Amino acid sequence: MNSAASVNEPSGWLVEDGLRELEQLFRAVLSHQSEPILILDDDRRCVDASSGAAQLLGIAKGKLIGEQIDDLVAPNKLHYTANGDVLPGRHVVVLHGLALGDKPVQPKFLPVKSSPAKSANEKSAKQSAVSGEVGGDQASARSKDYALLCLDASGQVVAWYSGAERIYGYKSEDIIGQHVSCLYPGDDELHLHSQEELQKTAVEGNLAREGWHRKQDGSRFWANVLTTALRDETQELQGFARLVRDFSTRHRIDEALLHKRGGTPQLLADSTIAGIVTGEFDRIIDANDAFLGMLGYSREDLSTGGLHWADIAAPEYLALDERAHEEGLLHGACTPYEMEYVRKDETRVRALVASAVLDAAPFRWITFVQDLTERERAEKIADEPGAAHEYEEIVGTSAALKRVLGQVEIVAPTDATVLVLGETGTGKELVARAIHKLSVRRNRPFVTLNCAAIPTGLLESELFGYERGAFTGALSQKIGRFEMAHQGTLFLDEVGDIPLELQPKLLRALQEKEFERLGGTRTIPIDVRLLAATNRNLTQMMGDKLFRSDLYYRLKVFPITIPPLREHPEDIPVLVRHFTQSYAAKMNKHIDKIPAETMQALVSWPWPGNVRELENFLERSVILSPGPTLRVPLAEIRAEAMDAPAGATLAEVERDHIIRVLRETNGVVSAAATRLGLPRTTLNAMMRKLEITRKDL
């Protein structure tokens, strides 16, 4: 099999650009691996290495690059297994130590097929490039294989590399030209899911997912999938680059331990935040003085560019750090976890760490670090009877919700700007209030403003206030929301609806921490912590020139994504009981029974309006319940789930569906486009074609 797939001429640019993107994805997943892994080129030189390799070899990662493997691995101390041509000219090598008394065995050569035009000597030399002393079984090598492939815009496979053949079992000549859905189990729902994944990737730029995939022999494996959209210079979608790993073993362990997982340790709101760190792959690009001081490094140490995550992470925590890294790639941020850092003087400090992914390719991240030196004192106080619970309004026990609350807890004590993302009705304002309650500003004002609810011409005066005589009708001075929130927290909901012409003034207020009232000349200093939320796709809006990129990156210091209710249905029974009891108490009713059939129907419904829709539905149900048993109008949701009438045309079905989604997203076209998996411009064109107007909503 050729290491690079057969490529049709029209797909040449796609595969060439896809190779660059695949190498970025490859480096992203490798950077924080705790297992000692090297990536070699055809000349046996190291082009990249994992954190575990740097720890095992005792060499800073930067110094490994360019070294030949023979100079790094002593044959009588270490041996290795290899998977050749994961990408053309890129070979994965897993290092192993020899147990006492073991002897190196004869090397096994992993075949790496070269071009037919190459000589036998060239082919033999290439095979030798990935050979090594091999001992024990090959499980480690197999577990560190990577399926890398490229798809065109319709989802057909256009490039298929050696790792993909080893994992899936398909040869390139069998899979090229096939739709990627053939790699999913023979289930109509999963086939549809594969297309939805590509549509969401096209909108968001990149996507991480886990689920069942199918091999050529019909067996299944649990796949960890990273996909990136490939666009040309005109931003036209050309296809997708995808990296797949077999996580079957990890999935079985996670399922077995799911019921044993506990929550994140509670910390006091004023716990010390030691630092904020940003980086690319595993290299630390920037850090604040508090973090550098905590570890004993100087600004000069950082500016040399030689500080890597593996240099400061205690070796025994690399496996935990790897799991957090994988969680970040999959969900955008990780659940906070405890680890130890190694200071420059080789002493240690314990910290609570939470990271968020800023970009997948190239891989960029931001990490918040909380000093745990005073943790025992904090835990003792938090465990005292009567300690306040900060999440009374947020109900649920799922892992997805715990991840969100963990991120809230780690970022709340800082003054960092937080961007809360999620569909309408997911509870973005509740998360913002929880951040405020856990912050040092909790006794100061919490001021909210829904940017979508204020007419465009009045939004500036609402934010910044105005002076008397600033415009016709301004009979007296008025202070704006920024002044009202001085020394407190300002929450801007639906920030994506801020007009483009107002965004520079908002950016200046955030960066300079000062502003002028409308019609005024005096500069007013402010001390405000900003929280923002939106259900819009701000990345797409930047591409459409509807949202400034500088404001976007200023808001996205620490993004928190709230999952839609359909992605954590295990919380629905808890929410049903909570809302039922709450509204029954308000109406002086006693309802203590919820039929099993009713609960099953509620759990099965996808709730496109999320928790808000569920809450309103249950309020109506309590009103309709005369006795102790909850009576739910199931016919309403069943009617919505019914297929269209047999006589309906395709245009009528499309029109009804688009109108329903627009109503669920409060008429926000970009949010509806995201829900439908369409570009906003395409949805606008369909609305004109189907004659959908505001009156229909």
Per-residue pLDDT, 12: 64
| Cβ partners under 8 Å of residue 459, min gap 6 | 451, 498, 499, 502
| CATH code (residue 490) | 3.40.50.300
**CA 221 to each of CA 157, 341, 649: distance values in angstroms, whole numbers, following the listed order:** 20, 36, 40
- Give 330's contacts (C-beta < 8 A, 6+ positions apart): 208, 209, 210, 224
To which residue do tokens 């897993």 refer?
94
CATH number at residue 314: 3.30.450.20
The C-alpha atoms of residue 262 and residue 247 are separated, in whole angstroms, by: 23
Same domain, 685 and 670: yes
What pLDDT sits at residue 7? 44
Tell me how many helices (H) and strands (E) the chain has: 29, 21
CA distances from 654 to 58, 410, 658 (A): 61, 44, 6
Burial 573-610 (b: 16+ CB within 10 A, else e): eebbbebbeebbeeeebebeebeeebbeebeebebbbb
Q: What is the DSSP letter of 100?
A: T
Q: Which residues of 28-64 are buried (b: 16+ CB within 10 A; e: fewer)?
A: bbbbbbbbbbbbbebebbbbbbbbbbbbbbeeebbeb
Evaluate whether residue 629 is within a structural domain. Answer: yes
Q: Are 365 and 481 in a shared domain? A: no
Region at 112 (left for phi over 0; alpha for psi -120 to 50; beta for the rest): beta
Give strand ranges (E) for 61-202. 78-87, 90-97, 147-152, 157-160
Count of the separate structural domains present in the chain: 5
- What is the residue-wise DSSP string for 380-434? HHHTSTTPPPTTTT-----HHHHHHHHHHHHHTTS---EEEE--TTS-HHHHHHH
pLDDT along the chain (697 residues), means of 10: 44 72 84 84 88 82 85 71 85 70 41 38 42 39 74 90 91 90 72 76 84 88 89 85 87 59 43 72 84 85 78 81 81 82 86 82 82 57 42 81 90 92 92 92 92 86 86 81 92 93 92 88 90 91 89 92 91 92 91 87 88 92 91 74 55 80 79 75 82 79
Is residue 393 a part of any domain in this protein?
Answer: no
Among 561, 583, 613, residue at a domain's last position: 561
Q: 123 with 31, same domain?
A: yes
Name the β-bridge partners of 284.
279
267 is a domain residue: no
- Cα–Cα dist 98/109, whole Å: 19
**CATH code, 619:** 1.10.8.60
Q: What is the 3-state secondary structure (H, E, C) of 593-658?
A: ECCHHHHHHHHHCCCCCHHHHHHHHHHHHHHCCCCCECCCCHHHHHHHHCCCCCCCCHHHHHHHHH
Which residue, among 319, 380, 373, has the nearest Cα to 350 in the 3D structure?
Answer: 373
- Count Cα atoms within 13 angstroms, Cβ side, for 211: 14
**What string of DSSP letters covers 67-80?**
-BHHHH--TTTEEE
Question: DSSP letters along 508-569, please?
Answer: HHHHHSEEE-BT---EEE---EEEEEESS-HHHHHHTTSS-HHHHHHHTTEEEEPPPGGG-G
Question: What's the rounded Cα separation, in Å, for the pair 343 and 284?
Answer: 15
**Which residue among 597, 619, 641 closes a domain?**
641
313 is a domain residue: yes
Q: How far apart are CA 342 and CA 562, in angstroms?
A: 34
Rg of the chain, C-alpha, whole Å: 28
Q: Is residue 259 part of a domain?
A: no
> Do 141 and 171 fall within a single domain?
yes
Domain termination site, one of 561, 582, 617: 561
Given this model, what pLDDT does residue 365 score? 84
Q: Are residues 327 and 468 in the same domain?
A: no
- Are the C-beta atoms of 2 and 115 separated by less than 8 Å? yes
Q: Which residues sit opposite 48 in a β-bridge?
A: 39
- Is 610 within a domain? yes
- Please give the C-alpha separations between residue 348 and each of 294, 336, 338, 371, in angstroms, as whole numbers: 10, 19, 13, 12
* C-alpha to C-alpha distance for 50 and 61, rounded to whole angstroms: 8
Cα separation, 464 vs 519, in Å, equals 10
Shared domain for 193 and 57, answered yes or no, is: yes
Domain assignment of residue 151, given as a range: 9-247
133 and 16 together in one domain: yes
Give me the amino acid identity at 248.
Answer: S
CB atoms within 10 A of CB 76: 9
Residue 404 lies in a domain: no
For residue 239 the two structure tokens come to 């296809």
Cβ pair 498, 505 in contact under 8 A = no
Looking at residue 561, what is its pLDDT? 92
> Which pLDDT score, from 0 to 100, does residue 256 have?
59
Cα–Cα distance, 171 to 167 (Å, whole number): 11
Domain co-membership, 186 together with 58:
yes
What are 110's strand-pairing partners?
A: none
Q: Which of 562, 642, 630 is nearest to 602 (CA)?
A: 630
Nearest to 581 by CA among 569, 594, 571, 568: 594
Q: Is residue 265 assigned to a domain? A: no
108 lies in the same domain as 151: yes
The DSSP output letter for 183 is G
In this structure, are 373 and 495 located in the same domain?
no
First-to-last CA distance in the chain?
56
Tokens 């080129």 correspond to 41
Do residues 219 and 299 both lie within one domain? no
For residue 688, the domain's CATH number is 1.10.10
> What pLDDT score does 507 carry?
92
Record the tokens describing residue 679, joined without a space. 């570009």
182 shares its domain with 279? no
Structure confidence at residue 273 (pLDDT): 57
The pLDDT, as a whole number, for residue 77 is 67
pLDDT at 42: 87
CA distance 554 to 418: 10
